Structure 1
């Protein structure tokens, strides 16, 4: 078993154990509680576990060991619960029907309402239940991070807790900025959209997907301030590459691989760096039409095909791919400056390549 798959198994067992323990404690409260918690179990099964891998790699970079201690496993599981909560809430905001090839959480709860022949609006019930489940996942995330901090020195725990709080606050603000951007575009000049899109990409995703898991792991391992700053110089550009790849997959990804319909980001109106680049490079009429179509949930297949073609033919797609490559090179340059053992360096290099060139 590879190191990454070993970590994934340990993190999955910790996630499952947390849900099982909560089911044991909370299940007796009411007959409908088990179905609620079973959705949490379903939603947190599988996934790339990149954030968990970065957390463990950050810890290893500080301690010089590849051992997956219980503190690392609990911290990694905490980050995965946080990520799951963010996805549940994000799908509500984006009105997404699917996630990883299955109904999104609010859609799953709406189906449960319908199958149960309950009264009232199934859509409202689904949204309400999903909000609550996302909140509960955040509670479990915090619980596991507290447990992880209890397993390291008090000094390391204080630094890690402060970083964890900052991460969660920044992601929430980044999500709000993303929400604003989807409605503010008529008053934002085209030449200002790329900067705004990059700000959102960094605050909403780049930091918490790569940089923060690395830093949290390093802080739990007792990293010095200088080492943490070096880790950031690797993690932030790689996190941007991660989000830019996500943007590409959201428009051009294979549904059979990504688990989401091709062009889904176009229906959701995602104002990404790639969209900003396409609008900057396209003819004014084409740019205006892209503005008009973006965010229409009823886009036809022909509309999606036209938008995909414009983004590719205008050079927006290539500019994004170039920025991914530039960000990856910047991350690897930052990595080269960090004093690491050969095993840790190879692990981080492999994670960087996997992150920038992933297909889902």
Structure 2
């Protein structure tokens, strides 16, 4: 079905549902207990913005790919990869909520707690929840690879795409480690914050999905380079917006508690800029509160005010505007001939970066 004629998120959901139906049958042969893992995967792959599959699809179309080919199934593998990263991220950050529901490790913890209370015996629910979530993330990572390679493309197309699919998995894992190092350092380092921004999000959210789609569609290196010129600044703008939402966003929109990134001590570009421009008194107060899991609403508001007073918020807004404009100018210069692809990529640039606080 043409994505011009159908809703991309709907088609991606269809592909994920069909794939997980197959996995449920396979895992049922191993044991009924594994139904919990499949159901958790179903819930985790429901909803979301579907940005990565959308960029993959339009990268394919930009390369002249035939929309009758199974591109939406291949693109859905990137949503499975995204869920793997989110599940592991929530474990590492001790985040209790994801998309307005309990994070995977809290979900499994609650299941085990209920079993323990019902039987009067059983292991540690917290440890079980963490272990089960790690395994769910691992399964989704494996399933992402299987979804791509069983999507219906021929061996030549899959070989072209594989170097980009391999790259994105390495890059997002490396970016995640950089993020851990940044949080553990307790220091605001702009260079490190920018590297985390690039590898944990920019390449993973926009650039590599575009590359994977273009490679499946037979795009040449000239197109790949043009998509990078569009995708990298846009991916950075997307993550800068996400960082602002992580501090100032409405929980009803973000699906996470207000100020969660402040409790987790996320060393983002926003925080790095603020640290360079705070007064000594503000810096002392910020360091005292930032990264404390038990922050109350008043303390979160104080941290927000410090970030605003340092002009870090405005600096990030300016960067978002600059990076988005860079992406749109690169799109204008690109060799993409398909007008539907040009319009869709321009629209995605706005949708990815204009989410309101």
Normalised to the residue count of structure 2, the TM-score between the two structures is 0.95
Residue in 1 aligned with 2:153? 151
Query: Is the alpha carbon distance of 1:4 and 1:203 closer, same or farther for their aligned partners in structure 2, counting shifts above 3 Å?
Result: farther
Would you say the 8 A contact 2:65–2:217 is kept in 1?
no
Task: Give the deviation of 1:285 after TM superposition.
Answer: 2.0
Task: Give the deviation of 1:5 after TM superposition.
Answer: 5.9
Give the Cα separation in 1 of the matches to 2:68 and 2:290: 44
Residue in 2 aligned with 1:50? 51
- Map 1:101-250 to 2 at 5 A: 101-117=100-116, 119-148=122-151, 151-152=153-154, 154=156, 156-186=157-187, 193-250=189-246
Would you say the 8 A contact 1:4–1:53 is kept in 2?
no
Give the Cα separation in 2 of the matches to 1:51 and 1:138: 15
Unaligned runs of 5+ in 1: none
2:219 is paired with a residue of what secondary structure? Answer: coil
Q: 1:304 aligns with which of 300, 304, 308?
A: 300
Task: Give the deviation of 1:74 after TM superposition.
Answer: 2.1
Give the Cα separation in 1 of the matches to 2:53 and 2:300: 34
Farther-moved stretch of structure 1 (4-13 vs 263-272): 4-13
1:334 is paired with a residue of what secondary structure? Answer: helix
Root-mean-square deviation over aligned CA pairs? 1.7
Unaligned runs of 5+ in 2: none
Would you say the 8 A contact 1:152–1:220 is kept in 2?
no
- Map 1:275-290 to 2 at 5 A: 275-290=271-286
Residue in 1 aligned with 2:315? 319
Indicate whether 1:349 and 2:349 are aligned.
no
Normalised to the residue count of structure 1, the TM-score between the two structures is 0.94
Give the Cα separation in 2 of the matches to 1:329 and 1:127: 41
CA deviations 1:298-357 (Å, max 9, x no partner) are 111111000011111210100000000000011011101112222111111000000111
Indicate whether 1:263 and 2:266 are aligned.
no
Task: Give the deviation of 1:116 after TM superposition.
Answer: 1.4
Task: Give the deviation of 1:31 after TM superposition.
Answer: 2.6
Would you say the 8 A contact 2:230–2:328 is kept in 1?
yes
